[in-house]
Structure formats: C-alpha cells, structure tokens
Chains A and B, each alone.
Chain A
Amino acid sequence: MTATSLTSTQGAGRAGDKIFSGAALAAGCLILAVLFGVALFLVVQAIPALTAPAEEIQGGEGFFAYIWPIVIGTLIAAVIALVIATPIAIGVALFISHFAPRRLASGLGYLVDLLAAIPSVVYGAWGAAFLAKEISPAYNWLAANMGWLPIFQGPASATGKTILTAGIVLSVMVLPIITSLSREIFLQTPKLHEEAALALGATRWEMIKMSVLPFARPGIISAVMLGLGRALGETMAVALVLSSGALTASLIQSGNQTIAAEIALNFPEASGLKVSTLIAAGLVLFVITLAVNMIARWIITRHKEFSGAN
C-alpha cells in the first residue's frame, strides 16, 4: 500500500524533474546551435557571391577585390578608436578604483556606464551633426601644418565627415567597455600587494605602477581586445558619420568604408547577388570579431587560473 503510493508520487515528481532538466539542457544546446547556425546560414547565403564570376560582383573584379579595401577601412577605424580610448579608459578606471573618494566611486562608475547606455544611432547623429562640424577647423589646421604626414594629407574634408571623426565617435562607444572591465580587474588587485608597496614608502603612483598594473596587464589586454571587437562591428556611428569612398591613406579626407557600414547602407535596397555579397562581407566581419573575442576570452580564462585572486 504505502510502497505503491510512494512510488506513484515519486513517479510524478521524477517526470517533472526529467522535463525540467531536459528543458534546461535543451536551452543550453539551443545557444550552441544558434551560434553554429549563425555561421552556417551566413556561409550558405554567402556561397553564391564567393563562387560567382568576378565581373558580376560589385566593382567587377571579384569578391576579394571588393572586400579588402573595406576590411582595411574597418581596421583603420577600430585602431583609431582604440588608440584614443585605451589610455583614457585606463585613466578613468584607475580614477574610479584608486583615486576617487570611496563614497563617490560607484556613482561615478555609473556615470561612465551611462555612456554605454546611449544607443549607437544617437552617437551617430551626434557625430554627424555636432562633432563633425566642430572638429573640421582642427582638420584644416592638421592639413596645413602636418600635411607632410600621409595620414594628415590635405585638402581636409569641409564637412568633417571623415574616418578620423568616425574613429573618435567609436572611441567614445568603446570607452565604457574597456573602463568597466579594467575597473573590475584593478579592484581585484591583492590588497596585501598594495599595502606592502605603500608601507615601503611608495607614492600612490609608484604603488599603482608596481602592484596594480603588473597584476592587471592581462585583464587590460583582454578588455582592449573586447573593445576592439565592439569597434570592429559597430555600424551606425560609421554609417551616419563617414561620407564613404575609396580607400585613402589620409584620415582627414572623406573616403574609406567599414564592413558594417557598407552592409547597413546597401542591404535594405539590395537584391540577388548583391545580397549574397553583403552577407559574405558580414561573414568576414563575423570571423574577424569571433577571432578577436575568442583570443580575449582565452586570455581572461588563462589569467583566472593563474592569478589566484578569484
């Protein structure tokens, strides 16, 4: 009697357990399937562009000739963004973790996080309407005084809608990412290291140089890599800010184009082979950002195992 009633209730409970754990497992596998699907469907839809005769691709010289200038353009914009954002982001992260008064620190951190909350299209609109106009006198000055450098070769764009402006807008967008990740790492520095440095008479800067920065170096590198991933894939800021064109060395003339902006500008009106070409471009972007992100994550996990701070 009791045995049967026990097994019957157990039976119902066991079914619930099975269903629930099965659903959880399925959801986990679904995520792997989605990531696999992203790669698969992009490849399937991109194949026509990769196999099509060269003269049918835009530009008439095949897919490779079409893609490499915009890959270079993407890299240029991302590198500009990182060169500007990295030192500032590390400074901001240090300010919040080690310089600001304890009570203000979290509020100030929230202020920087607000930068990440602003939608990218608003940054694009700001860059196009405000920044480009304000910054074009500076470009004229650069063209006049630094014009002997190929990257500042004149004549400067009159509208200021150049790859350098786009890079500056991108740097604003990656700044909060690098800041919040480095801040986390800085806060994990073993307190004993810091206190030992201070006890030996180090100034605050020497303490940071000797204990915080060496500890945080892998974390900073991976934060920068994650920022790079974001900068490579960012679309709207570039699409709205840059008046695109052929690949040029000068950063202050209009010209250059990035993969993401190329897709956003052309995809809505595209049809047939053009769609495949753009999806293939997206595949290239996906592979680049995937590689960058995987390297960054690999550095983080390796760091976790060795640091002993977690």
Chain B
Amino acid sequence: MTSTLTPVRSKRSALTKGQLPKYAPYVVLAAALIAGAAILALVGFNAFGWGIVSAILFAVGLVSWSAAVEGSRKAKDKLATCLVVGSFLIALLPLISVIWTVLVNGIPGLLAPGFMTTSMNGVTGVFDNRAVEDGAPVIGGIYHALLGTIQITLLATIISVPVGLLTSIYLVEYGNDGRLARAITFFVDVMTGIPSIVAGLFAAAFFFAVVGPGTKTGAVAAVALSVLMIPVVVRSSEEMLKIVPNELREAAYALGVRKWRTILKVVIPTAISGIASGVTLAIARVIGETAPILVTAGFATSINSNVFGGWMASLPTFIYTQILNPTSPANPDPSSQRAWGAALVLIILVMVLNLAARLIARIFAPKAGR
C-alpha cells in the first residue's frame, strides 16, 4: 500500500482515514465500566445500577468519540446501533427476572413433601399458622389443580382440534378464496384478539342461558379455552396445508383418487408434523390461561375428576387464589410458597410443550431428500 511507502510512519491509509480504530468499542466499554463503578461507589454500589450507568456512559462515550472523528452521520449510526442493542438487552431483563424469581421462590414449594401428590382438601389456616410459628412442614399441594388443568386442557383440545383442522381444510382445499373463505379468515384473525376473559364470559353466559344460572364446571372452562384455541389451530394448520406442494395433490387426482381420500391420505400426512407442532403450541398457549377458568370453573380445594360436574381447580387459578386469598390471612407465607411452587410447575409445563412443538416439527418433518 502507498502508506507503507510514505516516509511518515504514523500516517494511516486513506481508506481507513476518519474512522474509529477497530478496538474503539472495547476501549470505551472498559472506560465506561470503570467510570460506572466509580460513580456507583459514591452513591452506594449495586450491580443493576452499575450495568445501567455503564451502558449509558458507553453509548455517550462511543457516540461523541465517533462524532469527533467520523462526523455526524457515522455518529448517528453508532447511536442507533447502541439504542437497538440496548433495547434488546432491556427486553431480556424481565425474562431473566421472571424466571429467576420463579426459580428462587418456587423450588422450596416444589420440594415440600407431598406437594405434587396431595390436594388442598382440609388444609386450613390452622396448619399454615403452625407451619410459620412452630416450624411444622407446609402441607397441601397441587394434585387437584394439576388434575383439573390436564382434564380441562384435554377436553379443550378434543373440541378445538377437529373444528380447527376441518376449518383449515375448508379454507385451503374447498374455499377457493371465495367470499365465505375470506370472511372466515378475517373473523379467525379477529377471534385471535378476543380477550381471554371475554371468552370465559361467553362460555359462562352460554351455559347460564342453556343449562341454568350459576353453572360452573370444567366443561364450561374447556369451551372457553376452545374459543381461544380454535383460531390458533386454524392459523397454524392453514399455513401448513398451504405449503403442501400442489404436485402431490395432482398426482393423486391423476391416479383417480377422490378428493377426500387425497386430503386424508396425501395432504394431511405430508403436513402432519407442522399441524402437530401448531396444536402443541396452541395447548401451551391455553394451559396458562387464568381468567377464563376463573369465571367458568370456580375454584375447588379438593380433587374433582368429573369435568361435567362441580367446581374444578386448575394450576393458574390455584396460583391466583393462593396469592390473593391466602389460606391463612395472618400468615400468607405458606400460601405464597405453594403459589410459587405451582408457578414453577406451570412454567415447566409450558416450556416442555414449547420444546415438544419444536421437536415434533423437526422429527416428523417430511424427508426432503429424493
């Protein structure tokens, strides 16, 4: 390069003139961390404040250095990069904080003896007072709530999957993008936005009108959850059916296969991995819903294995009632311990379902190689 030929060694290449050196961000970061620690040491050190102050100092330092050396356009670019990366880091804070809080508070509850295998039947404030005052173990568990959640979600799945899958088949195979198909697509989208509590109120109002006022059972809750679940199933199955290659359908028709047999034997098996993963995600979405169950199934403290009769507990409503109405109002700690334990179980359930959806999509995906 020409720069090596010039007698003045310190002169930089014309191509990189007016640019910050590559190490600039690291230098500014180190300076910002040290300065941040110094400032925080004056007002009382804490790690969170250190991170915030250092991040601000880093952005200000890098941008003003860049403005001095590179000019305002590059400085604006640096500022935008800092803001964008910063917003991503800010978005991660609540995620880390929520998971950390649930883990720290939930593990003692989860490890309490009988937490997974007993219900709250007969557990009164007396036991909780004794647990706080005399150090007796916290009794009572989530068995009834877990059972209720599984039953309600299962029934909701049984209702939603056929309806959702058939609707998506109609939209893709029979609808021909006609007026009805477009109306269904539009209203499915609108249904996605129904507030969960309104879905609960609908199921409650429906059963109040049909069966009788005050009807609250697991089945009512399952209907409420189906209202939330059907649009999710329709959307995901529709996407999956759409990407089945048309050649497969035409090959089947050319062999003289009827349309319904083509759909059942060719189209759905090709798309089944995507459909199954969509359904799993839909289950993961509704399993954590609280509000619709609260207004439709009430809350029970004992085991109820009949979905069609009597109030029923579920994990989310269990958490809600244990926090809002502790078993012993004088000593809410055992109740909140149980609530956090249940929250941990619920989060694990949802995460497992999410992971399962990804695995299903990957394992059962149609083989691409020919």
Contact = CB atoms under 8 A, between A and B. Distances in A.
Interface of A: 13-14, 16-17, 19-21, 23-32, 34-35, 37-38, 41-42, 44-45, 87-92, 94-96, 99-100, 108, 111-112, 114-115, 117-126, 128-131, 172, 175, 179, 203-206, 208, 226, 229-230, 232-236, 239-240, 260, 263-264, 267-268, 271, 275, 278-279, 282, 285-286, 289-290, 292-294, 296-297, 301
Contacts of A100: 88
Given A35-B187, A122-B102, A297-B189, A175 B91 contact: yes
B258 A263 contact: no
Output the residue of B164, B205, B299, B340 with the most chain A CB within 10 A. Answer: B205
A26 to B, nearest CB: 8
A296 B101 CA distance: 35
6 contacts: A16-B261, A27-B162, A28-B181, A117-B351, A206-B77, A267-B295
B324 interface: yes
Contacts of A234: 195
Nearest to B86: A91
A121 B290 contact: yes
Q: Is the contact region of chain B dominated by helix, strand, or loop, or is it mixed?
A: helix
B101 A126 contact: yes
A285 B196 CA distance: 11
Interface in B291-347: 291, 294-295, 298-299, 316, 319-320, 323-324, 336, 339-340, 343, 346-347
A69 to B, nearest CB: 18
B87 A31 contact: no
Given A99-B85, A125-B319, A45 B234 contact: no
A121 B351 contact: no
Contacts of B261: 13, 16
Nearest 5 A-B pairs (CB), nearest first? A233-B195, A119-B288, A91-B87, A27-B166, A293-B193
B193 A292 contact: yes
A24 B195 contact: no
Contacts of A89: 87, 91
A131 B100 CA distance: 13
A125 B343 contact: yes
Interface in B191-227: 191-199, 201-202, 204-206, 208-209, 213-214, 227
Nearest to B336: A129
Interface string B71-85: 001101101110111
A79 B153 CA distance: 33
Given A37-B206, A119-B288, A125-B340, A290 B190 contact: yes
A264 B187 contact: no
Given A16-B258, A229-B193, A236 B320 contact: yes
Contacts of B209: 41, 44-45
Nearest to B193: A293
Interface string B160-201: 001111110111011100001101101111111111111101
A37 B203 CA distance: 10
A229 B320 CA distance: 23
- Sort chain B's interface into a size bin: 35 or more
A198 B354 CA distance: 39
Contacts of A206: 73, 76-77
Given A24-B174, A27-B166, A297-B186, A235 B87 contact: no
Given A41-B206, A204-B81, A285-B195, A27 B189 contact: no
B84 A235 contact: no
A263 B201 contact: yes
A293 B189 contact: yes
B275 interface: no
B227 to A, nearest CB: 6
B279 interface: no
B184 A32 contact: yes
B166 A240 contact: no
B260 interface: yes
A89 B87 CA distance: 8
Contacts of A124: 290, 320, 323
A288 to B, nearest CB: 9
A31 B191 contact: yes
Contact of A88 (B91, B208, B230): B91
Given A16-B261, A37-B206, A203-B73, A25 B170 contact: yes
A294 B295 CA distance: 26
A138 B6 CA distance: 59
B343 A45 contact: no
B146 interface: no
Contacts of B290: 119-121, 124, 235-236, 264
B288 A27 contact: no
A286 B200 CA distance: 12
A42 B201 contact: yes
A27 B340 contact: no
Output the residue of A29, A121, A293 with the most chain B CB within 10 A. Answer: A121
Output the residue of A29, A204, A233 with the most chain B CB within 10 A. Answer: A233
Contacts of A31: 163, 167, 184, 187-188, 191, 230-231, 234
A109 B81 CA distance: 18
B197 A235 contact: yes
Given A28-B171, A34-B227, A37-B202, A122 B347 contact: yes
A235 to B, nearest CB: 4
A205 B83 CA distance: 11
Given A27-B163, A119-B350, A229-B195, 14 more contacts: A31-B184, A31-B191, A42-B201, A44-B205, A88-B91, A92-B87, A99-B84, A112-B91, A114-B95, A128-B323, A206-B77, A263-B197, A264-B291, A264-B294
Contact of A285 (B190, B198, B339): B198
B92 interface: yes
Nearest to A298: B186
B243 interface: no
A179 B91 CA distance: 10
A44 B202 CA distance: 11
Contacts of A226: 193
